[in-house]
A and B are shown apart, each in its own frame.
Chain A
């Protein structure tokens, strides 16, 4: 009897905490994506899409917008216009407009990072136009834009087409010495979202953009290009390579007070498309040419990438971090961006064509 009473007593105690923090799932609103744009008078326009779970509801999603001076204030007001408690627990994407990113993202990142419910794995992106315009896209494949974005980012990141960056990545790159953040850059179409490149930051401010080819080089140099297709137009035909493995070594060093960056890139690739009548199987010179073409193209793209990053004075490759760990005496955080901008870059690329598919 004594034990039964004790069990009842302990169970009753457990229930008492639920009285305050109980959140019924049908009374909770989970935004799937949020867009943030600059508004007038130092305010921001926050828009969030909430899926509606009730079967009888005429719409499947609901978008609520609000102008406010900060993210927390904005959602406090949005809370008064929704039935149910807003939770960032299922939030998967936040899109900032390019205009807003140029002014700086730190205050929004702080609000998200401080929130224990917001996942650190939520994906951040920059839109080349007003971020809120995403609501005008009529997605053909899926009804809900938040879900579409989640799938789009997952598949493109897996195919090495997207520099996928999370809240956690941005926070880390923002505070670490010798590394700057970067985010994917989006363009809205009528029926789809296109990833057109990379938004480059210095600290929390957007300072420039990279196009698709430079983004490709960036991902190769960041070890993010694990597997995926590379296309190249050579003379009057197309060559498609499938990257099986990419190994990159970035070596910063000082020589005569001049910063040098040595870039070694080695790729193992398969041939997946070769739109010419020439046979490779009995032509070693042609095989070598196919390898050299890709090596030359990637070397050029890497140099363009470095030129742009040096112009922007943004070290998104984390070369300063490498220098700091290998030669701490040479790294000066205060002058790093200037040193990086003046660095001499030497890129060498080696391509090994391993397989030809099932055609000769």
Chain B
């Protein structure tokens, strides 16, 4: 990659942390307490911490890979390491994964919005508005994306403060006894938790644009830690407030938590939460849209990322209509999450090992 291009889109390490937070925290926050209550019971907090631990290890390999190829993205160095055919296959997998993720997350977003706020608006209208806004942001490149995420982080944080009144109504009996989970269940639930953490793979694409590359791991881990604390917060509140069995009967527990409380003057908080959550979902979709369009730009050597975005826009719109109901949406989300776990955990480790064995290195930034 040309150094001039890297300089143009360079982002700070702090912005990297915000990108990771905004990419990870998206759809999962609405349903995570239910999923965790089912798989890990009252020990869900343990699975969430372990899940973050696995991702931290994955981030370390992504970082090592990035340090080896400081000016290249995975689309480029997969070619160097595996050759043009296998490399292109890896690149295509990332594009496919990012495109599918954008589509299904956008579909989940409009489903939630149709349930709570816009029941009569055709989902195609909401979806096209959502995707066009996302396309507009993505078309302005990584730097704009990072700045928006940084700004939105501070704007969206109050969404979680809204949940504080329910924290004081938590019945701690619902979280006891601790350490009841068996080893098999713990492994299963940790694996399930990892689906909610997908998002750090964006580092594979944006590594060359980060200012202080030696501190990428620290910034990424900081972002991951904030994501973990957010998930711990909503899961503990969800299980503590409702208990394990009632929680499994609530489709979007984090929103329903707010339905349960009546705050004087403010009244119904769930609609305000959804208003803020629209931006949370928007950032996640935009990240994946960016990943898909930027990867495609690199693979097909487009002049401008906006062309690839425009090419992907109708495909994403069409893919979003594949799930026929909310059950299928969850099934597809699980499928892409598993796909994501493989691409983020196994592929970087394998690439790093092969690169070391074949002694392949990228060009040094200073040399360029």
A interface list, Cβ under 8 A from B: 6, 10, 13-14, 16-17, 19-21, 89, 116, 119-121, 166, 168, 171-172, 174-177, 318, 321-322, 324-326, 328
Contact = CB atoms under 8 A, between A and B. Distances in A.
Given A121-B260, A322-B173, A325-B177, A20 B122 contact: yes
A121 B125 CA distance: 33
B176 interface: yes
B176 A119 contact: no
B350 interface: no
A175 B253 CA distance: 15
A325 B176 contact: yes
A172 B166 CA distance: 14
Interface core residue of A16, A168, A326 (most chain B CB under 10 Å): A168
Interface string B120-164: 111001100100110010000000000000000000000000000
Contacts of A326: 176-177
A325 B262 contact: no
Question: DSSP class of A's interface residues: helix, strand, loop or mixed?
Answer: helix
A122 B199 CA distance: 39
A10 B118 CA distance: 18
A50 to B, nearest CB: 19
B109 to A, nearest CB: 13
Nearest to B117: A21
B180 interface: yes
Contacts of A20: 118, 120-122, 125
Contacts of A177: 245
Contacts of B118: 17, 20-21
A328 B177 CA distance: 8
Contacts of A89: 268
Given A89-B268, A119-B262, A175-B243, A21 B133 contact: no
A168 B136 CA distance: 41
A168 B260 contact: yes
A321 B174 CA distance: 8
B359 interface: no
Nearest to B248: A175
B119 interface: yes
Nearest to A22: B120
Contact of A176 (B122, B243, B256): B243
Nearest to B255: A116
Contact of A120 (B117, B119, B259): B259
Contacts of A328: 177, 180
Nearest to B245: A175
Contacts of B243: 172, 175-176, 321
B242 interface: yes
A348 B129 CA distance: 65
Contacts of A21: 117-121
A6 B121 CA distance: 23
Nearest to A121: B262
Contacts of A6: 136
Contacts of B335: none
B260 A166 contact: yes
A175 B242 CA distance: 9
Contacts of B358: none
Contacts of B116: 116
A322 B121 CA distance: 46
B180 A10 contact: no
A116 B114 CA distance: 11
Contacts of A116: 115-116, 259
Nearest to B178: A325
Contacts of B122: 20
B343 interface: no
A171 B246 contact: yes
A137 B177 CA distance: 49
Given A17-B121, A20-B120, 12 more contacts: A20-B121, A21-B118, A21-B121, A116-B116, A120-B256, A121-B261, A175-B246, A176-B174, A176-B243, A177-B245, A318-B173, A325-B177
Interface string B238-261: 000011011001000000100111
Contacts of A16: 125, 129
A13 B132 contact: yes
A104 to B, nearest CB: 17
A223 to B, nearest CB: 11
Nearest to B173: A325
Contacts of A174: 246
Contacts of A168: 259-260
Contacts of B126: 17
B129 to A, nearest CB: 5
A175 B260 contact: no
B268 A17 contact: no
Given A116-B115, A172-B242, A172-B246, A17 B125 contact: yes
Interface in B209-245: 242-243, 245
Nearest to A179: B243
B117 to A, nearest CB: 7
A335 B180 CA distance: 22
Contacts of B249: 175
A72 B74 CA distance: 54
A120 B261 contact: yes
